[in-house]
Amino acid sequence: MKSRFVVEGLGGKKTLRGRIAVKGAKNAALKALAASVLFDDAVAIENLPDIEDVKRMQELLAGGLPVLKKEIAERLRASIVLTGPALARYGTVTFPFPGGCVLGERPIDLFLEGFKKLGAKVEEKDELFTITGPSTPLGTSKLKGARIFFPSVSVTATETLMMAAVLAEGETVLENAAMEPEIGTLARYLNACGAYIEGADTPTLKIRGTGGKLLHSGGLPYVTPPDRIETGSFVILAALAGEEVTITGCEPKHVDALLSLVRRAGVVLEVGADFITIKRSPTSLTSVSVRTHEYPGFPTDLQAPMAVFLTQCNGEATILETIFDGRFRYADDLIRMGADITVMNPHKILIQGPTPLSRKELESPDLRGGLAYLIAAAVAEGTSTIDNAYLIDRGYEHIEDRLQTLGLNIRREEI
């Protein structure tokens, strides 16, 4: 059964009040689930978000490895991270080209080249990839440590090859690695369970492989960190439509790039160790230009919500997208709502504001764009609908129930 969200817009009024808690990070939870393949015992995962992407990853694990179920993996971009642990443990893995949100070209060359450097062979047949580790005289298959330089920074490639190297023989060095906090969290947990990973939170990771010895949790749980993208999305919503909103259970330092920008724009913030309070600004907001960048820069996953924010700011600003192609597909719908947005090229848009937004019937273009539509609908005049709620459910747990607690009139309808 398909569903949609119906949002009664506030017409630019700032009336939302209360507290909203951040759930566990989608991207951290998915990688912890994948990492469980490296263990000889059960892995307990705490603060696991109740979202569709997590359910799909659990289905992939339940379906048995090392052959990933095609119909699920094709719908889940994060399925690619399972290839590293599966290859390391079983010596082979078969998978389709991973799916998920359509964000321009998202090639898997970094993964395939990395596996080759670890000694594996890559075959492609009938739209399936099969990766096989090197054979040994005993008939087993173990990856061999190697030095791998990423020509472009990739979170999923860093995580996938880090996990593959954990059970390999010898030392693997990953250079120009991603530094997202979810990677460091995972590395430290794996280390606590028998892995040897140095350099967490830096661009160089050194992994001394166990030579095939599986990790052991011994009951130590993996604690999913708070979702920084959800945190940032709530900051933006509160800045546009809040009287006084406190975001709890978050890690403010993980959204420093966003907080610095909205402060410059005139948003009034109180930041604590694990909370952010956004208060109504006494003055109108001022436009600030944005450039997405790998962590600790401004996250590409907050780019669409930030575009909505800028439609309500005084002046002219640009958003430069440096990570993905095809991430401005939401612009046309915001323009239909009344936004003044010019798409300069596939990587740059110009926004002039403020412009009032009005109700529209919308359809989520992707996970993050869908949440941006919810924010736009909250700001707009009149009642808006956002179809394809599933895309938003992929990354945000029971979002309508949680936003209702702040005073937003939002409901889910089956269609």
H/E element holding 378? helix 367-379
Q: Contact, 83 vs 131, CB < 8 A?
A: yes
Q: Where are the alpha helices (DSSP H) in 222-347?
A: 228-241, 256-265, 303-311, 331-337
Between CA 163 and CA 183 the distance in angstroms is: 11
> How far apart, in Å, are the Cα atoms of 66 and each of 27, 85, 92?
22, 9, 6
Q: Where are the alpha helices (DSSP H) in 10-168?
A: 26-35, 52-62, 70-73, 83-90, 109-117, 155-166
Please provide the DSSP assignment of 154-212 as one string.
Answer: -HHHHHHHHHHHHTSBSEEEEES----HHHHHHHHHHHHTT--EE-TTSSEEEEE--TT
Q: Which residues does 279 contact at the CB level (< 8 Å), separation at least 6?
A: 242, 243, 244, 268, 269, 270
Does 250 participate in catalysis according to the annotation? Answer: no
What is the β-pairing status of strands 3-8 and 409-414? antiparallel
Q: Contact, 35 vs 85, CB < 8 A?
A: yes
How many residues are given for the chain? 415
- Please choose, from the candidates 174, 201, 39, the residue with its C-alpha nearest in 3D space to the C-alpha of residue 115: 174
124 by DSSP, 3-state: which? strand
- Please choose, from the candidates 300, 321, 312, the residue with its C-alpha nearest in 3D space to the C-alpha of residue 258: 300
Between CA 316 and CA 224 the distance in angstroms is: 38
Q: Which of 101, 193, 250, 313 is catalytic?
A: 101
Q: Contact, 108 vs 134, CB < 8 A?
A: no
Other beta carbons within 10 Å of 68: 26
Q: Contact, 166 vs 195, CB < 8 A?
A: yes
The catalytic residues are 101
